[in-house]
């Protein structure tokens, strides 16, 4: 009985120290990848399972460590002027299209919908808050893309996204997200690979995001072509009033 | 042709002086429908040219011009869409009229499909930190409803194609932003005099997970009294409300308006809508509309039908249910299916649609519809048809 009690204390203390480590890792990832503000130009290349390609271009503005995010589509003509405003780490989303000159507020369920036919959903585009939106568990260490990574299982909380769990590969040396697997009821739905990290000031920015839909075989790449960081962006840019401004 | 070349030269001349941005689309639409047991084909070639420029600091010009060339059927008669009993009544009434008035009455029942080249939108907007001012022919749309918008006094929606663009309205619009998400909008849609011009004020704010709008409007309604062969103009006031947000993860929107007139007319329309996206991406939506001025049974009059064809927000029945689904079959193909059901006369219409992206800038939409219901009902007299639309953006 005494031996059992000692084992229990040992196991629970192991679990406790492991939780602290995970939170530290997640905090470091957050710290490493989020800027006060950014202004970038990116291409979104969608490839269907049949091989057809569509390329969209956009400007993305973020502020307050991604708490506020505005995406403005600049091409092709079919989507030009469409805007997506995300506030409170993506909890609140509005979509504007100049075709009807109307702003639509998206309910949280609509965040599962695909953005402009890509393999990213609205909730994938929202950066979210890793600390508040998930409970994390370190499940091991694994090599990915020739780098040693922590492998973390993250289960969304009430405020988190709709997936049942995600597995995150965090590169050990610089604490950068290398890969995320999105699961729904034990089915692996999608895989995101973040690469081409560039050091801008004291943080790192992934210039290539590759999302593979493992259900239908489609894939989408978001490639950042130009980026400015820590610039002065007005709060007014991140309002529904601004969405109608051309 | 000379006129077209002239317009292009003027535009290109201006564009050399200013940095104009050009865009637009070409659309070919075919609209086959069965009318009186025959397939009638109608369609159009439409070229829309959009241009915009920041011609001064804080001033932006936007505009678009549309060249519309129809093909197929040149006109329809309202009788083509009316129940048989009403056509008999109408023919009987027309036959009693003197010859010169008879022609006038018959003409008023024709829907012409004229070729048009027109300025669809053209407006200048002044933007400042706290307010915006817009003058010109512009888009004015209100309400959170998808199929119907009780608060929208400016536009008439096609329930089978509710998101299709509407022609601009000449108006002055002033917006004052009183908070990050809140604003007051005042609009005056210009008619021939102050009295007949539509005036509207809208207050919008975001609370918690809801966008909330309050409207008040004054406008003139011109109604045709067919049996007296006259047009009656009435001043009407509207108090409206709309909201959209979510409860327990389900999207919800509510929109309602009360319409008042000097002649004791006091009616209302209200709707509630719900939507939800499942984990597999399947999107479901439903709307329920109540309309106090509708008829409880299918005893619609010719004046009801004329109002139905002419007036924004006009519906025939007392209550309607719309149920829809949307699913992205592949990254490039979108499937939608909707059913509208008139609960007053038990008629309805099913209209599935498929939209495929053929290339970066080319879209093909196939939207067939199948109405159902008994004779004399709203949808029962219609026969199957469809809209086939090819759109090339540039």
Phi-psi region of A62 (alpha: psi -120 to 50; beta: other; left: phi over 0): beta
The alpha-carbon gap from A234 to the nearest alpha carbon of chain B, in Å, equals 11
Q: Residue B262's closest CA among B318, B317, B195?
A: B195
The alpha-carbon gap from B20 to the nearest alpha carbon of chain A, in Å, equals 13
Q: Looking at residue A246, what is its pLDDT?
A: 66
Contacts from B339-342 at CB under 8 Å and sequence distance 24+?
Answer: B340/B147, B340/B159, B340/B379, B342/B316, B342/B317, B342/B373, B342/B377, B342/B378, B342/B379
Selecting from B277, B328, B394 the residue whose C-beta is nearest the C-beta of A110 gives: B277
Between chains, do A48 and B275 touch, taking CB under 8 Å as contact? no
Determine which of A16-30, B36-50, B163-177 has the lowest per-residue pLDDT on average.
Answer: A16-30
The size of the A-B interface in CB pairs under 8 A is 110
Summarised one tens digit per residue, pLDDT across range B43-69 is 999 999 999 888 788 899 999 999 999
CA dihedral (B221, B224, B225, B231) positive or negative: positive
Selecting from A80, A100, A236 the residue whose C-beta is nearest the C-beta of B165 gives: A100
Which residues of chain A lie closer than 8 angstroms to B277, CB-CB?
109-113
Q: Looking at residue A7, what is its pLDDT?
A: 40
Summarised one tens digit per residue, pLDDT across range B189-208 is 999 898 889 999 999 998 88
Mean per-residue pLDDT of chain A: 87
Contacts from A155-160 at CB under 8 Å and sequence distance 24+?
Answer: A157/A132, A157/A133, A159/A91, A159/A129, A159/A132, A159/A133, A160/A128, A160/A132, A160/A133, A160/A134
Please tell me the distance from the alpha carbon of residue B246 to that of residue B207, in angstroms, as a whole number: 12
Please tell me the distance from the alpha carbon of residue B297 to that of residue B383, in angstroms, as a whole number: 21
Selecting from B127, B281, B393 the residue whose C-beta is nearest the C-beta of A245 gives: B127
Q: Looking at residue B12, what is its pLDDT?
A: 47
Q: What's the per-residue H, E or C state across B249-269?
A: CEEEEEEEEEEEECCCCEEEE
**Residue written as token pair 């604490």:** A175
Does the structure show a pLDDT above 90 at A224?
Answer: yes
Between chains, do B139 and A100 touch, taking CB under 8 Å as contact? yes
Between chains, do A107 and B250 touch, taking CB under 8 Å as contact? yes
Q: Looking at residue A4, what is its pLDDT?
A: 41
Would an 8 Å CB–CB cutoff place A157 in contact with chain B? no
Between chains, do A113 and B283 touch, taking CB under 8 Å as contact? yes
Residue range B376-384: mean pLDDT, rounded: 86
Residue range A141-161: mean pLDDT, rounded: 91
Which residues of chain A lie closer than 8 angstroms to B359, CB-CB?
54
Between chains, do B283 and A80 touch, taking CB under 8 Å as contact? no
Name residues whose C-beta falls within 8 Å of residue B17's C-beta, 6 or more positions apart in sequence.
Answer: none
Q: Which residue in chain A is spatially nearest to B182 when comparing CA positions?
A: A241
Q: Residue B198's closest CA among B184, B214, B186?
A: B186
The alpha-carbon gap from A124 to the nearest alpha carbon of chain B, in Å, equals 14
User: What residues does B38 pair with on adjacent strands?
Assistant: B35
Please tell me the distance from the alpha carbon of residue B240 to that of residue A95, in angstroms, as a whole number: 23
Portion of chain B with pLDDT greater than 90, in percent: 55
The alpha-carbon gap from A98 to the nearest alpha carbon of chain B, in Å, equals 10
Q: Looking at residue B126, what is its pLDDT?
A: 93
Q: Are β-strands B42-56 and B21-30 bridged in parallel, bridged antiparallel, or unpaired?
A: antiparallel
Determine which of A4-13, B27-36, B346-355 has the lowest per-residue pLDDT on average.
Answer: A4-13
Model confidence at A11, in pLDDT bands (50, 70, 90)? very low
Would an 8 Å CB–CB cutoff place A76 in contact with chain B? yes
Determine which of A39-43, A125-129, A155-159 has the lowest per-residue pLDDT on average.
Answer: A125-129
Between chains, do B209 and A92 touch, taking CB under 8 Å as contact? yes
Summarised one tens digit per residue, pLDDT across range B384-393 is 999 999 999 9
Which of A46, A67, A76, A109 to mutate to probe the B interface, most B CBs <10 Å? Answer: A109
Selecting from A49, A114, A235 the residue whose C-beta is nearest the C-beta of B281 gives: A114
Contact between A43 and A222 under an 8 Å Cβ cutoff? The reply is yes
Q: Looking at residue B201, what is its pLDDT?
A: 97
Q: Looking at residue A55, what is its pLDDT?
A: 94
Q: Are β-strands B75-77 and B59-72 bridged in parallel, bridged antiparallel, or unpaired?
A: unpaired
Between chains, do B246 and A119 touch, taking CB under 8 Å as contact? no
Q: A32 preceded by cis ω (within 30°)?
A: no
Selecting from A99, A101, A112 the residue whose C-beta is nearest the C-beta of B281 gives: A112
Q: Looking at residue B18, what is its pLDDT?
A: 60
Please tell me the distance from the alpha carbon of residue A170 to that of residue A151, in angstroms, as a whole number: 7
Determine which of B121-125, B214-218, B372-376 has the lowest per-residue pLDDT on average.
Answer: B372-376
Would an 8 Å CB–CB cutoff place A245 in contact with chain B? yes
Between chains, do B24 and A54 touch, taking CB under 8 Å as contact? no
Model confidence at B3, in pLDDT bands (50, 70, 90)? low
Q: Looking at residue A3, what is its pLDDT?
A: 45
Q: Looking at residue A130, what is its pLDDT?
A: 78
Model confidence at B8, in pLDDT bands (50, 70, 90)? very low
Between chains, do B245 and A107 touch, taking CB under 8 Å as contact? yes
Does the structure show a pLDDT above 80 at A79?
Answer: yes
Which of A78, A94, A190 to mutate to probe the B interface, most B CBs <10 Å? Answer: A78
DSSP type of residue A107: P
Q: Looking at residue B306, what is its pLDDT?
A: 77
Higher pLDDT: B81 or A183? It is A183
Q: Looking at residue B325, what is its pLDDT?
A: 96
Q: Looking at residue A242, what is its pLDDT?
A: 85
Between chains, do A235 and B328 touch, taking CB under 8 Å as contact? no
Between chains, do B183 and A241 touch, taking CB under 8 Å as contact? yes
Does the structure show a pLDDT above 90 at B279?
Answer: no
Between chains, do A112 and B127 touch, taking CB under 8 Å as contact? no
User: What residues does A167 pair with on adjacent strands?
Assistant: A153, A181
Contact between B171 and B187 under an 8 Å Cβ cutoff? The reply is yes
Please tell me the distance from the alpha carbon of residue A93 to that of residue A174, in angstroms, as a whole number: 31
Strands (E), chain A: 37-47, 53-63, 68-75, 83-87, 92-97, 102-106, 134-144, 147-156, 165-171, 176-184, 187-200, 203-213, 219-229
**ipTM confidence:** 0.74
Does the structure show a pLDDT above 60 at A39?
Answer: yes
Please tell me the distance from the alpha carbon of residue A235 to that of residue A70, in angstroms, as a whole number: 11
Which residues of chain B lie closer than 8 angstroms to A162, CB-CB?
279
The alpha-carbon gap from A58 to the nearest alpha carbon of chain B, in Å, equals 14
Residue range B328-342: mean pLDDT, rounded: 93
Q: Looking at residue A142, what is its pLDDT?
A: 93
Q: Looking at residue B333, what is its pLDDT?
A: 92
Mean per-residue pLDDT of chain B: 88
Q: Looking at residue A49, what is its pLDDT?
A: 85
Between chains, do B275 and A245 touch, taking CB under 8 Å as contact? no
What is the phi/psi pair of residue B156, to 5°?
A: -105, 125
Which of B360, B361, B391, B394 to mutate to probe the A interface, most A CBs <10 Å? Answer: B360
Would an 8 Å CB–CB cutoff place A114 in contact with chain B? yes
Determine which of A138-152, B13-27, B216-230 has the lowest per-residue pLDDT on average.
Answer: B13-27
Between chains, do A100 and B163 touch, taking CB under 8 Å as contact? yes
Residue range B332-348: mean pLDDT, rounded: 94
Summarised one tens digit per residue, pLDDT across range A95-137 is 998 877 788 888 888 888 899 989 999 999 886 777 778 899 9
- Within 10 angstroms of residue B293's Cβ, the number of other Cβ atoms is 17
Which of B187, B277, B332 to mutate to probe the A interface, most A CBs <10 Å? Answer: B277
Model confidence at B297, in pLDDT bands (50, 70, 90)? low
Three-state DSSP at B113 gives coil
Return the H-helix or E-strand segment holding B120: strand B116-127
Q: Which residues 52-71 of chain A have a CB within 8 Å of chain B?
A: 52, 54-55
């Amino acid at each position: 009985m005494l031996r059992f009690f000692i084992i229990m204390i040992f196991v629970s203390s192991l679990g406790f120290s492991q939780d602290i480590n995970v939170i530290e890792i997640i905090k470091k990832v957050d710290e490493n990848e989020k800027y006060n503000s950014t202004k970038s130009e990116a291409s979104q290349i969608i490839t269907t399972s049949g091989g057809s390609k569509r390329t969209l271009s956009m400007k993305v503005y973020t502020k307050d460590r991604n708490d506020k995010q505005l995406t403005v589509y600049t091409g092709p003509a079919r989507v030009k002027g469409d805007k997506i405003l995300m506030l409170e780490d993506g909890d609140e989303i509005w979509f504007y299209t100049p075709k009807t000159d109307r702003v639509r507020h998206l309910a949280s369920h609509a965040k599962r919908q695909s953005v402009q036919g890509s393999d990213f959903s609205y909730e994938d585009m929202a950066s979210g808050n890793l600390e508040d939106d998930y409970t994390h568990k370190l499940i091991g260490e694994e090599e990915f893309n020739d780098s040693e990574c922590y492998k973390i299982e993250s289960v969304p909380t009430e405020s988190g996204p709709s997936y049942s769990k995600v597995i995150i590969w965090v590169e050990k040396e610089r604490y950068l997200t290398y890969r995320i697997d999105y699961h729904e009821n034990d089915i692996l739905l999608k895989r995101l690979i973040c690469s081409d990290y560039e050091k801008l000031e004291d943080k790192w920015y992934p210039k290539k995001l590759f999302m593979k839909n493992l259900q239908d075989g489609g894939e989408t790449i978001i490639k950042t072509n130009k980026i400015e960081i820590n610039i002065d962006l007005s709060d007014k840019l991140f309002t529904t009033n601004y969405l109608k401004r051309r | 042709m000379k006129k077209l070349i002239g317009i292009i030269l003027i535009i290109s001349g201006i564009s050399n002086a200013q940095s104009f941005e050009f865009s637009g689309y070409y659309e070919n639409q075919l609209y086959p429908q069965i009318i009186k047991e025959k397939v009638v084909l109608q369609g159009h070639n439409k070229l829309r040219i959009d241009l915009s420029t920041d011609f001064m600091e804080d001033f932006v010009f936007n505009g678009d011009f549309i060249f519309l060339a129809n093909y197929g059927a040149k006109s329809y008669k309202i009788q083509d869409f009316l129940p048989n009993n009403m056509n008999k009544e109408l023919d009987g009434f027309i036959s009693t009229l003197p010859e010169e008035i008879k022609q006038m009455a018959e003409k008023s029942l024709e829907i012409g499909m004229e070729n048009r080249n027109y300025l669809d939108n053209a407006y200048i907007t002044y933007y400042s930190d706290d307010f915006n001012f817009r003058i010109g022919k512009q888009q004015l749309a209100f309400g959170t409803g998808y199929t119907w918008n009780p608060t929208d006094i400016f536009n008439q929606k096609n329930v089978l194609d509710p998101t299709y663009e509407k022609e601009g309205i000449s108006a002055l619009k002033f917006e004052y932003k009183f908070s990050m998400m809140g604003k007051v909008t005042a609009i005056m849609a210009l008619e021939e005099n102050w009295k007949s011009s539509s005036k509207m004020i809208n207050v919008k704010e975001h609370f918690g997970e809801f966008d909330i709008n309050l409207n008040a409007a004054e406008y003139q309604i011109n109604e045709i009294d067919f049996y007296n062969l006259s047009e009656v103009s009435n001043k009407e006031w509207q108090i409206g409300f709309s909201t959209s947000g979510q409860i327990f993860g389900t999207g919800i929107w509510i929109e309602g308006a009360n319409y008042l007139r000097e002649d004791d007319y006091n009616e209302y329309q209200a709707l509630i809508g719900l939507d939800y996206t499942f984990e597999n991406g399947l999107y479901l939506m439903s709307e329920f509309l109540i309309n106090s001025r509708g008829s409880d049974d299918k005893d619609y009059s010719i004046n009801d039908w004329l109002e139905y064809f002419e007036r924004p927000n006009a519906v025939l029945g007392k209550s309607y249910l719309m149920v829809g689904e949307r699913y992205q079959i592949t990254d490039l193909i979108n499937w939608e299916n909707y059913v509208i059901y008139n609960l007053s006369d038990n008629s309805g219409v099913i209209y599935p649609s498929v939209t495929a992206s053929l290339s970066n800038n080319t879209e093909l939409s196939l939207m067939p519809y199948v109405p159902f219901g008994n004779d004399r009902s709203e949808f029962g007299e219609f026969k199957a048809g469809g809209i086939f639309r090819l759109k090339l953006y540039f």
